[in-house]
Amino acid sequence: MRMRQKYFLGVLLGLAILAPGARAEEAKIHTARLKDVTTVEGVRDNMLMGYGLVAGLNGTGDRQQTIFSTQTLASMLQKMGVTVAAPATMLVHNIAAVFVTATLPPFSQPGMRIDATISSIGDAKSLEGGMLLLTSLFGPDGQVYAVAQGGIVLGGYSAGGRGNAKLVNHPTVGRIAGGALVERDTAVKLDDFKSVSLLLRNPDFATARDVAAVVNKELGKTVAQAIDSRRVEISGIEKGPDAVPRLLARIEELNVQFSTPAKVIVNERTGTVVMGADVFLGPCSILHGNLAIEVTTHLEVSQPLPLAQGQTEVVPQTTVKAQEGPAQAIHLEEGATVDQLIQGLQSIGATARDIVAILQAIKASGALQAELEII
């Protein structure tokens, strides 16, 4: 048996503090269409979910310990006039119990088709070749908004068994393109709107102010005002069945200026770091060194001599080796960019997980001029 452990230590020292308001350069101003940075309040998607049964599997369905799939089958057969005396004793390996999910888009009308995602909830090995039987999809209010049925398309497969198997992607989740049929009208009546509220995708007071100014300039009168950092309200809408669509069609192509927030996203589980171009650093030096500790255990068998009153035992022999590499340093001037930081960290051989720890230390020292979010 062999055990190996490595520990990486990073040490950071901030050398200076930025003067109030000092910055190497201002954040870049971007331009986008109004409909790309805002949404209309009340016009949104709705989530649907249902429980169903997939049939036609080639022996890859739920096993005997998944009782609810056979109970569902017995209930469906009973509705069709077939009585099953003991559903728990049924051995059917070509069915699988699944959850069916779908997204109901705004302004959906009965007869529209939407995509459905099918996910196994039992111990089925694969849904390949399966057919989803008629399944009702419910909204949060418990009402049926759509029904789904059709053949499942997978993005992977599973073959073999008993230790000699090949698995590609995820064969227990599939999709039916256009497999759900909308049964209930969920369209929002825009002719009842006396005002329209635009919601910013990324809240920002300056962007909300600019959105209101652009709308007022296009309409030639002051009808839009920024309520807060996310909401811009447009009032004084004309009466008529097409007043709101005409208004939105007129303003959604307007160009508006916005600035991206200075933010750093860190995922400690995967070692992923995402940073925007507007992230700036204060002057700092980074001292980074590696300390590797290797613990190796060999198991040896201690055998007693012949005719000796002893027992055979396994004795572990542990060897510990420690190796510390020389510390490497990089220096960043005031207003350094993300590219300079990454190039410097890569030059000293820092890994993705090392960068996560270094960024946390930079933020703690006050040299990172951005919001650090750990997910």
| Token code pair at residue 53 | 């049964």
Looking at residue 3, its pLDDT comes to 37
Q: Which residues contact 273 (CB under 8 A, 6 or more apart)?
A: 264, 265, 266, 267, 352, 355, 356, 359
Region of poorest pLDDT, from 12-26, 224-238, 288-302, 309-323: 12-26
What values do phi and psi take at 172, rounded to 5? -105, 10
Whether 6 contacts 291, CB under 8 Å = no
Q: Name residue 180's amino acid.
A: A
Domain ranges of the chain: 10-26+263-374, 30-43+189-259, 46-182
- Number of neighbouring beta carbons within 10 Å of residue 234: 23
Nearest partner of 100 among 122, 112, 115, judged by Cα = 115
| Token code pair at residue 341 | 């930081």
Whether 128 contacts 57, CB under 8 Å = yes
Looking at residue 38, its pLDDT comes to 93
Q: Name residue 333's amino acid.
A: E
Region of poorest pLDDT, from 12-16, 131-135, 219-223: 12-16
- How many angstroms separate the CA atoms of 55 and 133, rounded? 7
* pLDDT tens sequence across 249-297: 999 999 998 877 788 888 877 777 787 767 777 777 777 665 554 556 5
- How many angstroms separate the CA atoms of 38 and 16, rounded? 39
Arithmetic mean of pLDDT, 3-20: 32
pTM as predicted:
0.68
Looking at residue 70, its pLDDT comes to 82
Looking at residue 163, its pLDDT comes to 57
How many residues in total does the chain contain? 375
* pLDDT tens sequence across 181-206: 999 988 888 887 888 999 999 888 99
The third-level CATH classification (topology) of the domain covering 30-43+189-259 is Gyrase A; domain 2 (3.30.1360)
Q: Is the dihedral of CA 196, 202, 204, 209 positive or negative?
A: negative
- How many angstroms separate the CA atoms of 202 and 55, rounded? 45
Q: What is the mean pLDDT of the chain?
A: 79
What is the distance in angstroms between the CA of the first residue and the CA of the last residue of the chain? 35
Name the band, by pLDDT with cuts 50, 70 and 90, for residue 102: very high
Whether 92 has a pLDDT exceeding 90, the answer reads no
